[in-house]
Amino acid sequence: MATPLYVGIDVSKHRLDVATEPAGEGRSFTNDQGGIDQLLDWVAKLAPTLVVLEATGGYQMPLASALGAAGQPTAVVNPRQVRDYAKARGILAKTDAIDAAVLAGFAAAMQTQARPVPDREAQRLKALVARRRDLVAMIGAEKNRLDTALPVVARQITKHIKWLQKQLQALEDDIDHTIRTSPVWREKDDLLQSMPGIGPVTSFVLIAELSELGTLSHKQIAALVGVAPFNCDSGRQRGQRTCWGGRAEVRKALYMSALSATRHNPVIIAFYQHLIAQGKPFRVALIACMHKLLTHLNAMLRDNAAWQPAAPST
């Protein structure tokens, strides 16, 4: 039986540093099309068990897409987990070459599994959704400046806000068109928006940022998003359960939907009122509603069924 071979690639703006585990071989390539082609040729000869990259703000996507298209088993992993692994091994130094070796060691030690790389259309949709967040943030910042601006500046800010709002509307039309022209996404969008409290914005955030929805168990999807409470117990001490980690942008969208659902969704209304009656703080009750919403949405996509006001099976 062949020894498993793992390849770790540290991605920066201009360079790709590569290391293998257990061979310990290292290489470096330029982060451009020519360098990626050379790296693909080299990796193909190795026939690795897995190629691992960190999520590095988008710089990893061209390489990850190329590896996926070439049929190489690839995983893009959380940088925090890799850094914690390095600290556990006592590796405190940090260079690109060391990071590549740590990535390869992480994949081997943790038995990391290959994960599908989003195709070009999925990447495009995710980029549009991210750009929408940028525009919303810019509009909010300009409105905050408008509150204290002198009249001579306020006129310019008002013009800029109107221009940004037009850009936002055009972008949202583009996102809607992208989703509605894809049969798979259109079906997901219809199912998601059939639930009271889920509007267009939350729907396309879920489609773009949570492609795993409907494919995992209710516990796995809650942990992935970051709305699953984790124990904090030791001996006789019973600590407060807390939620942490996960996908922040998905949580933000679910938060707004949960607020709406506590007013318009009969199941969530009853659940929320029950928690408040038990003395749960508002924030705790709302996070529980987010968890319940996510559980319902996961079941709806899993079963390809529109919203029904009955608890889904798990």
- How many angstroms from the chain centroid is the CA of residue 36? 25
**pTM reported for the whole predicted model:** 0.80
| 66, HSE (Cβ side, Cα atoms, 13 Å) | 19
Locus of tokens 């990850």:
64
Peptide bond preceding 229: is omega within 30 degrees of 0, i.e. cis? no
Strands 6-11 and 50-54: parallel
pLDDT recorded at residue 192:
96
The DSSP element (H or E) to which 256 belongs, if any, is helix 248-264
DSSP element (H, E) containing 118: none
**What is the per-residue burial (b if ≥16 Cβ within 10 Å, else e) of 239-263?**
eeeebeeebebbbebbbebbbbbbe
Distance separating alpha carbons of residues 121 and 134, to the nearest angstrom = 20
- Cβ distance 305 to 188 under 8 Å? no
User: Identity (one letter) of the amino acid at 23?
Assistant: A
Q: What is the pLDDT of residue 234?
A: 60
How far is the C-alpha of 26 from the C-alpha of 97, rounded, in Å?
Answer: 8
Q: What is the pLDDT of residue 120?
A: 82
Identity of the residue numbered 186: R
Give all strands of the β-sheet with 15-21 in edge-to-edge order: 26-30, 15-21, 6-11, 50-54, 74-77
CB under 8 Å to 31, separation ≥6 — which residues? 11, 12, 13, 14, 15, 16, 59, 63
Residue for token digits 């990071």?
Answer: 99
The CA distance from 61 to 75, in Å, is 11
The residue ranges of the chain whose pLDDT is under 70 are 1, 230-245, 310-314
